[in-house]
C-alpha cells in the first residue's frame, strides 16, 4: 500500500497532516523526526512531509532530521518549521521575525504544481516566529503573503517544497487540495487506504495469532469494534469481559449487558468490581494517579480472570491513535497530555500480551469500520466515554455524592439534547463536577451546593475540538433541570474552551 510518512517535529498540528491525507484514501503515518534512513527506507514511502514545530532551526539543539533523508530522491514537503528546515539545509537563511499567528492572504505566484487549482489567492493559516529571509539557490518562490515573501517555495528538479503556512488546519482555504496536489500529483500515491481494506487485512492478521483472547469491552464504539473484529477472525477463542467499575453512565451496566447478549453472538461475561475500584480511588485527587489506578485495576481483574479461567495469551483493547499520541507513547515526540488508562496506565507486571487492532485509527475511521461490521446505528452514534469513566469527570476526590451528581446531570444533558434533536449533531456531551461550591437560593432559603460544568463539543477525530454553540433556550432547559432535580447543585456553568488549549475531558 502506498503511504506518506510525516516526520514529527512537535507541532500541535502534526497528527492533522496524517488525518487530512487519510481523508482522501492514502495511508499516512507519523514518525519521529530522528528516524533513520534505514528505517524510513523499509517503510517505502511515496513521499515525505516535515511537520511544523516550536523550535528555531538556528538554535543549538533544534531537531534536525538525518541529512541522508534529503538524498533519498523522494518528494519532500516542509510545513512551517519543516519549510525552514529545507531553507536552512540547502544554504538559505532563516531569521527571527515578528510572530504571525492567524489568517493571512496568500498570493499564488505559480499555480502549475503544488498550488494548482486554487485560484489567484487563498486565506492561509500562519503560526510562526521565524521566516525565510533568503531562499536557497535553485529554489523559487511560488507563493507569498504581505509579511512572508517566501511563504511557498520549490526546487522543481528535486521535487522539494516548503510552505510557511499550515494546509492541514481547516482555517487554510483549500488546504486539503494543497495536500492532494502533493500526495496524488507530485508523489503519485495511489488511493488504497480504505476501511474495507483495513477490515480484511486486520481480520487476516488476527486469524494467524495463537492462543485465546480476552477483550475488555466497555459498551463504547472502540472496544465493541475491537471485539467484533477479533471475533470475526478467531471466533470462540475470544471472550469479552465487561467490568462494572462504578464509574459508568447512569444505568449503563444494564444497557451494555443487554446490547451484547441481544446484538452480538460473542462470549460475554460481566464482573461487578464497583467496591474494588472505589476503594482504590478513595482519597485520591490527582488525575494522573486516578487514571493509572483505574488502568491497573482493570488489568488486575483481567489477569485474575485469565489465571482462573485460562489459558489466555492476549488482552485486547480498543486503543486508538489519539490515545497513543496523548499518552506520549507514540512513535512521535509528543509530550504527555494525559495518560490513557489503557495505554500509559498499563502496569509493568502485565503478563498478557496486548492486542490493539485499532491502534492506528482515528475515531471517525472506527465508526466507518463499525458500519462495515454491522454495528447498530444507536451505538454507532453514541458519544465517546472516557476509559477511566467518571473518575476523570469528578474533579478532585471521587465520592459517592459527586459520582451521583455527574451521572444524573450527564443523563439530563443527553436527554435534553435528544429531545431537541441535537444529540447526533455534536461529538460529545456530558456534565462534570468538582470541588467548587456556590451559594444558591432554594425555597427562599440560602443553600451552599455544588457547581456542575456542562461540556458539549464538536469534533471529527477528538484530536481537536470546538465548544458547541447550543441555543440559549436549550441551555436554559438543561440548567433548570439539573438545579431542580439534583438537590446538591446550586450553579450550572457551560464550558466554552476549545481543544487546544483545553482538552475535551476535564482531567
In a domain, 506, yes or no: no
Give yes or no: residues 180 and 268 share one domain.
no
pLDDT of the residue at 337 = 36
pLDDT of the residue at 41 = 96
Is 290 within 8 Å of 392 (Cβ atoms)?
yes
pLDDT of the residue at 46 = 98
Give yes or no: residues 170 and 251 share one domain.
no
Q: Any idea what the CATH number is for the domain that residue 428 is in? A: 3.30.300.10
The overall longest dimension of the chain from CA atoms, in Å, is 80
251 φ/ψ sector (left φ>0, alpha ψ -120 to 50, else beta): left
User: Does the pLDDT value for residue 408 go beyond 90?
Assistant: yes
Least confident of 211-220, 367-376, 443-452: 443-452
Q: Any idea what the CATH number is for the domain that residue 155 is in? A: 3.40.50.880
Of 276, 289, 249, the closest CA to residue 409 belongs to 249
User: Does the pLDDT value for residue 234 go beyond 50?
Assistant: yes
Kindly state the cell numbers that stand for 285. Answer: 485527587
Q: How confident is the model at residue 453 (pLDDT cuts 50, 70, 90)?
A: very high
In a domain, 276, yes or no: yes
Q: Which of 100, 131, 168, 297 is catalytic?
A: 168
Least confident of 17-21, 53-57, 74-78, 396-400: 53-57
Q: Which of 80, 187, 215, 240 is catalytic?
A: 80
How does pLDDT run across 100-120, given as a tens digit for each residue? 677 889 999 999 999 999 999
Q: Three-class SS of residue 453?
A: strand
Give yes or no: residues 13 and 144 share one domain.
yes
Which helix (H) or strand (E) segment holds residue 5: the answer is: strand 3-8
Give yes or no: residues 318 and 203 share one domain.
yes
User: Does the pLDDT value for residue 3 go beyond 80?
Assistant: yes
Give yes or no: residues 307 and 248 share one domain.
yes
Give the separation between CA 254 and CA 271, rounded to whole angstroms.
12
Q: Pick the more confident residue, 368 or 376.
A: 368
Residues ≥6 apart with Cβ < 8 Å to 351: 303
Residue 166 bears catalytic tag: yes
Of 200, 225, 453, the closest CA to residue 358 belongs to 225
In a domain, 505, yes or no: no
Residue 505 has a CB neighbour count (10 Å cut-off) of: 19
Q: How confident is the model at residue 99 (pLDDT cuts 50, 70, 90)?
A: low
Percent of the chain scored above 70 by pLDDT? Answer: 94
Give the separation between CA 309 and CA 293, rounded to whole angstroms.
24
Handedness of CA 221, 226, 232, 238 (dihedral sign): negative
Give yes or no: residues 98 and 233 share one domain.
no
Give the separation between CA 437 and CA 431, rounded to whole angstroms.
15
pLDDT of the residue at 332 = 41
Q: Three-class SS of residue 296?
A: helix
In a domain, 503, yes or no: no
Single pTM value for the model: 0.75
pLDDT of the residue at 335 = 40
User: Does the pLDDT value for residue 456 go beyond 60?
Assistant: yes
CA 214 to chain centroid, in Å, comes to 25
In a domain, 500, yes or no: no
Mean pLDDT value of segment 488-501? 93
CA 216 to chain centroid, in Å, comes to 20
Give the separation between CA 135 and CA 153, rounded to whole angstroms.
8
Of 367, 505, 337, the closest CA to residue 430 belongs to 505
User: Does the pLDDT value for residue 331 go beyond 50?
Assistant: no
Kindly state the cell numbers that stand for 2. Answer: 502506498
pLDDT of the residue at 247 = 94
Please, how many CA atoms are within 13 Å of residue 178, restricted to the half-sphere of its CB? 33
In a domain, 119, yes or no: yes
* Residue count (the chain): 507
Q: Pick the more confident residue, 135 or 364.
A: 135
User: What single-letter DSSP state applies at residue 256?
Assistant: H
pLDDT of the residue at 441 = 83
Give yes or no: residues 150 and 81 share one domain.
yes
How does pLDDT run across 132-179, given as a tens digit for each residue? 889 999 999 999 988 888 999 999 999 999 999 999 988 899 999 999
What is the count of structural domains for the chain? 3
Q: Which of 15, 166, 231, 340 is catalytic?
A: 166
Is 227 within 8 Å of 264 (Cβ atoms)?
yes
User: What single-letter DSSP state applies at residue 381?
Assistant: T
Handedness of CA 135, 141, 146, 148 (dihedral sign): negative
Of 212, 248, 272, the closest CA to residue 398 belongs to 248
User: Does the pLDDT value for residue 127 go beyond 90?
Assistant: no
Mean pLDDT value of segment 39-62? 93
Kindly state the cell numbers that stand for 443. Answer: 425555597
pLDDT of the residue at 334 = 40
pLDDT of the residue at 348 = 66
Mean pLDDT value of segment 125-136? 83
Phi, psi of 473 (to 5 degrees): -65, -35
pLDDT of the residue at 219 = 81
Mean pLDDT value of segment 60-81? 94
How does pLDDT run across 169-218, given as a tens digit for each residue? 888 999 999 999 999 999 999 999 999 999 999 999 999 999 999 998 98
Kindly state the cell numbers that stand for 330. Answer: 507514540
Three-state SS string over 192-229 comes to: CCCHHHHHHHHHHHHCCCCCCEEEECCCCHHHHHHHHH
Give yes or no: residues 96 and 132 share one domain.
yes
pLDDT of the residue at 326 = 61
Give yes or no: residues 260 and 145 share one domain.
no
Give the separation between CA 393 and CA 383, rounded to whole angstroms.
15
Domain boundary among 162, 186, 210: 186
Residue 323 has a CB neighbour count (10 Å cut-off) of: 25
Range of the domain at 34: 3-186
Is 131 within 8 Å of 94 (Cβ atoms)?
yes
Give the separation between CA 440 and CA 479, rounded to whole angstroms.
13
User: Does the pLDDT value for residue 329 go beyond 70?
Assistant: no
Q: Any idea what the CATH number is for the domain that residue 331 is in? A: 3.40.50.620
Domain boundary among 143, 166, 186: 186
Give yes or no: residues 477 and 372 share one domain.
no
Is 495 within 8 Å of 469 (Cβ atoms)?
no
Residue 231 bears catalytic tag: no
In a domain, 387, yes or no: no
Domain boundary among 142, 158, 186: 186
Q: How confident is the model at residue 125 (pLDDT cuts 50, 70, 90)?
A: confident
Give the separation between CA 301 and CA 347, rounded to whole angstroms.
12
User: Does the pLDDT value for residue 411 go beyond 70?
Assistant: yes
In a domain, 56, yes or no: yes
Is 268 within 8 Å of 231 (Cβ atoms)?
no
How does pLDDT run across 235-260, given as a tens digit for each residue? 999 999 999 999 999 988 888 888 88
pLDDT of the residue at 327 = 57
Give yes or no: residues 410 and 311 share one domain.
no
Mean pLDDT value of segment 415-419? 97
Give yes or no: residues 266 and 405 share one domain.
no
Amino acid at each position: 500500500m502506498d503511504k506518506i510518512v510525516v516526520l514529527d517535529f512537535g507541532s500541535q498540528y502534526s497528527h492533522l497532516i496524517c488525518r487530512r491525507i487519510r481523508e482522501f484514501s492514502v495511508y499516512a503515518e507519523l514518525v519521529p523526526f530522528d528516524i533513520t534512513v534505514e528505517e524510513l527506507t523499509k517503510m517505502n514511502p511515496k513521499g515525505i512531509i516535515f511537520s511544523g514545530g516550536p523550535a528555531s532551526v538556528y538554535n543549538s539543539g533544534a531537531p534536525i532530521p538525518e541529512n541522508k533523508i534529503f538524498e533519498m530522491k523522494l518528494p519532500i514537503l516542509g510545513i512551517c518549521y519543516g519549510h525552514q528546515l529545507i531553507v536552512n539545509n540547502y544554504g538559505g537563511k532563516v531569521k527571527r521575525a515578528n510572530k504571525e499567528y492567524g489568517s493571512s492572504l496568500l498570493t499564488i505566484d505559480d499555480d502549475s504544481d503544488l498550488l494548482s487549482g486554487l485560484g489567484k489567492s487563498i486565506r492561509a493559516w500562519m503560526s510562526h516566529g521565524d521566516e525565510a529571509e533568503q531562499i536557497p539557490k535553485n529554489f523559487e518562490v511560488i507563493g507569498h503573503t504581505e509579511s512572508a515573501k517566501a511563504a511557498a517555495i520549490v526546487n522543481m528538479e528535486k521535487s522539494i517544497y516548503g510552505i510557511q503556512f499550515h494546509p492541514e488546519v481547516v482555517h487554510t482555504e483549500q488546504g486539503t487540495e494543497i495536500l492532494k496536489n502533493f500526495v496524488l500529483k507530485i508523489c503519485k500515491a495511489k488511493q488504497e487506504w480504505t476501511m474495507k481494506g483495513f477490515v480484511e487485512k486486520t481480520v487476516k492478521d488476527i486469524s494467524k495469532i495463537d492462543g485465546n483472547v480476552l477483550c475488555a469491552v466497555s459498551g463504547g464504539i472502540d472496544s465493541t469494534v475491537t471485539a467484533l473484529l477479533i471475533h470475526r477472525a478467531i471466533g470462540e477463542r475470544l471472550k469479552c469481559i465487561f467490568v462494572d467499575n462504578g464509574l459508568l453512565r447512569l444505568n449503563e451496566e444494564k444497557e451494555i449487558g443487554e446490547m451484547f447478549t441481544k446484538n452480538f453472538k460473542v462470549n460475554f461475561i460481566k464482573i461487578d468490581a464497583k467496591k474494588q475500584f472505589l476503594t482504590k480511588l478513595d482519597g485520591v485527587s490527582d488525575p494522573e494517579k486516578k487514571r493509572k489506578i483505574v488502568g491497573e485495576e482493570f488489568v488486575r481483574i483481567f489477569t485474575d480472570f485469565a489465571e482462573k479461567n485460562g489459558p489466555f495469551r492476549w488482552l485486547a483493547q480498543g486503543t486508538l491513535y489519539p490515545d497513543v499520541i496523548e499518552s506520549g507513547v507514540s512513535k512521535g515526540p509528543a509530550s504527555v497530555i494525559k495518560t490513557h488508562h489503557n495505554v500509559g496506565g498499563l502496569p509493568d507486571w502485565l503478563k498478557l500480551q496486548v492486542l490493539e487492532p485499532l491502534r492506528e485509527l482515528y475515531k471517525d475511521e472506527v465508526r466507518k469500520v463499525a458500519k462495515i461490521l454491522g454495528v447498530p446505528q444507536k451505538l454507532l452514534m453514541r458519544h465517546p466515554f472516557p476509559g477511566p469513566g467518571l473518575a476523570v469527570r469528578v474533579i478532585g476526590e471521587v465520592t459517592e455524592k459527586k459520582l451521583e451528581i455527574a451521572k444524573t446531570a450527564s443523563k439530563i444533558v443527553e436527554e435534553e439534547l435528544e429531545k431537541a434533536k441535537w444529540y447526533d449533531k455534536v461529538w460529545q456531551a456530558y456534565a462534570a463536577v468538582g470541588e467548587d461550591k456556590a451559594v444558591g437560593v432554594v425555597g427562599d432559603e440560602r443553600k451552599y451546593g455544588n457547581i456542575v460544568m456542562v461540556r458539549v463539543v464538536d469534533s471529527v477525530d477528538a484530536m481537536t475540538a470546538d465548544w458547541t454553540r447550543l441555543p440559549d433556550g436549550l441551555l436554559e432547559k438543561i440548567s433548570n433541570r439539573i438545579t431542580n432535580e439534583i438537590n446538591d447543585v446550586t450553579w450550572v456553568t457551560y464550558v466554552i474552551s476549545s481543544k487546544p488549549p483545553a482538552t475535551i475531558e476535564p482531567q
